[in-house]
Structure 1
Amino acid sequence: MQRIIQLLSIAALIFFSACSSDKKTAHTHAEQVNYTCPMHPQVVQHGPGTCPICGMDLVPVNTGGGAQELMLDQNQMALANISTMVIGAGNLDQYKRLNGRLVTDPQRTAYVSSRAAGRIEQLYVKETGVAVRKGQPLYRIYAEQLAALQQEYLVATAQTAAFPDNARFQQIEAAARQKLLLYDVPAATLDRIKQQQKTDPYLTYTSPVNGVVAAVSVTEGQYVGEGSTILQLEDYDQLWVEADVYPAELSQVKTGQQVKVTVSGWENEPVDMQIDFITPALQSGTQLAQLRGVIRNRDHRWQPGLQANILLPAASRSNVLTLPVDAVIRDGKGAHVWIKKGADHFAPRVVKTGTETADQVEITTGLQSGDTVVVTGAYLLYSEYVLKKGANPLATHAH
């Protein structure tokens, strides 16, 4: 009997010791910091290391619900493209945005037409989109009408040579030469014809301007009439900007007004433009008017048809705290930003916003001058917080 009592006592001691050990172990694990991958949250381990999927250094995160902060080292911040700025009071310029587009300036469009009826013997430019320079050969034409005018010119030059003192013959020669010049026959060609005393029914015409071939209207061997369009050339050194304006907005714009233009894909490079024209009547079938201006097209980087926005100055405020729009995270619970604390800690902070423009937003409460705020990569921090903490930053943040 005594032996049985001793065995039971030993078993009880072992049981309570085991329970105490399990409690300590559970408590230790509860306080333990887990490490996970910023890009692959399914990777979790109880110590530092690298992600087996992408090789990134694992981020230490306390999932026990303690401090509302995330910690990233310098490499992780670089990979996540996280940048910050120190917020301070400044000006907030408000703009009203009008939808527009880039179009070809018709004043810089040239139509190359046939000066006489004839047959297109050769096209030197056969494709659209080809850039041509002023004076570059475009087409060669056979024209009997021009050959007849050349013959008249040769007769007049012969008469002048036979009677050099006859003013009448000199006038006839000058008139015959001028007639050919009006048909755009080059002066050098006329000098050659006069020297050789031989007509040339095949004439080559050159480009009158610099431009890009927008349309080719004929083919080789085709007969064309006088005035028929051969090519259409467009100069893209400058473009029109057309924007739609509602009748209620017409009072806010006027001819000569300076505005800013942003082109789709180059939103960070606004250009200045002057409003040159406002349509006096609404467009047929719409309730819209149009305004128009001209912008320079450096290096031909923009093409007609691209979307553009006209930014009309609306108002300006001074001494306000502003942030880039992407720095503010919004959801159904409100808005917050991420504050950098020290070298590698980030914490969410609830804010209230005020006036907002296309790229800036006013912060009315929640921040003060001197705070270091995350301006790029804020959404990544927000996602990491939700995944690692299992809660929305606004749901647990202390106000």
Structure 2
Amino acid sequence: MDTKKITIALLVAAALGAGGYGVYKLGMNQGMGMSTVPQTASSAQGAGVNQANGRKVLYWHDPMVPGQKFDKPGKSPFMDMELVPVYADEAGDEGKISISPRVEQNLGVRTAEVTKARFAANVEAVGNVAYNERDVAVVQARSNGYVERLFVRAALDPVKKGQPLAALYVPDWVAAQEEYLTAMKMNGPGTDGLAEGARQRMRLAGMTDAQIRSVESSGKVQPRLTVSSPINGVIGELTVREGMTIASGAPMFRINGLSTVWINAELPEAASAEVRPGTPVEARTPALPGTVLKGKVSAILPEVEAATRTLKARVELANPGQRLVPGMFATVNFTPAASAETLTVPTEAVIQTGKRSVVMLEQGQGKFMPVDVQIGRESNGQTEILKGLDVGQKVVVSGQFLIDSEASLRGTTNRLSGPAPAGDSKPSAGPTTHRAHGKVENINKDEITFSHDPIPSMQWPAMTMGFKVPAGGVPKDLAVGDMMNFEFQQTKDGAFQITSMSPAGPSMQGMSGMGDSRK
């Protein structure tokens, strides 16, 4: 009986041991992250092939710092995340982003084709109606006299051609007319010369030939003069009143014609090249709803308004019925002649980043790529493309920023906003040199690992990362724990190589400010 109990106990112990080992092995696999795919990838690292899906791995990188490349998988030195493999079949897609048809549909991506057409710009501006300054008449006093009566008493009163404006008493005419009438009554040799001399003195006194004939026919002195309007229009300026004494040449009335008017339109400086004198226009004003007034540009005034960056385009319009009056607001559409054929895309496809104009170009098979373009004029929802695209290509007209966000998540370097500048943004002949201060954490033949302070020129926080050794190799006296000032540059393959090193003391922040940024 005791033997039987001993045998059962041994069997139970063996079963528990086997089960415990299995649990232990499973825990070790899960805890160490040992799955079949990473093992295959790790074993294929030397060959550069991921046996799980048969795709060749070129390198690993951190999507948040895509310029830095690594030759093996592992933890990112920049972020608390695993490095992401970049496959050979993706190597030719630098700057592109691939999206599945389902995701593309969810993003609401719409495309339009680049077309070639004659670009007729439609330029629109606003302005105000003003008097035609070329249709103005000024009425002056021809002789010294007195204003006996005014028939027009206020500015802006409408007048018609030939309408009496004022009645004047002119004393200087009395003596000249009496002399002329006396000479007309004289008979004898030489009297014709006296009459002609008297007639000339009446002209010098300001009388017209019609007034002189009126004196001859009536045989009476006519000391009063009625001043009439020479044109149709309104009184723009009235400078006399009844009972006033006026001198010869003094202005009495300024009359503005209304048969034609001007519209002084505020033309944007960028659109001034499209408008020329003689360009036909269509004008609309809220005072005349539904009425389209046609005219043409009479002049482009050679002066730019500093505050609004606009030029004045002087538009001349016929004004039948004198319905347009100065001060009315008007909208003017200029229709320049159509230019030669040019490339156009929908205006909504062009993204203005401030320094660049970018469109998202469809590459086919769910791939998209941002392309810099040079744009020209805009009109009727279309934008002229001067450089960067070809006929038949397709551009994204909606969902561009969602695609750009997808590119950011996947580590695409060439995005709508362009690559982030490292250090000074000014162009230079060679790579930019960056300066740093840090503590040596590890040394091997290819790489020196530093815990460095923040590097403003790279917009990096304090972190621990590796740098390629200088071109001359690892300095002989360098040891782990040394505090160093060093300079580095980014190489063409995206790595960061040390160019010079020198011993240094602790940083201003102290050692507590350094170390891995994941802490």
What is the TM-score normalised by the length of structure 2?
Answer: 0.39
Which protein has greater RCO, CA pairs closer than 8 Å, 6+ apart? 1
Which of the two has greater helix per residue? 1
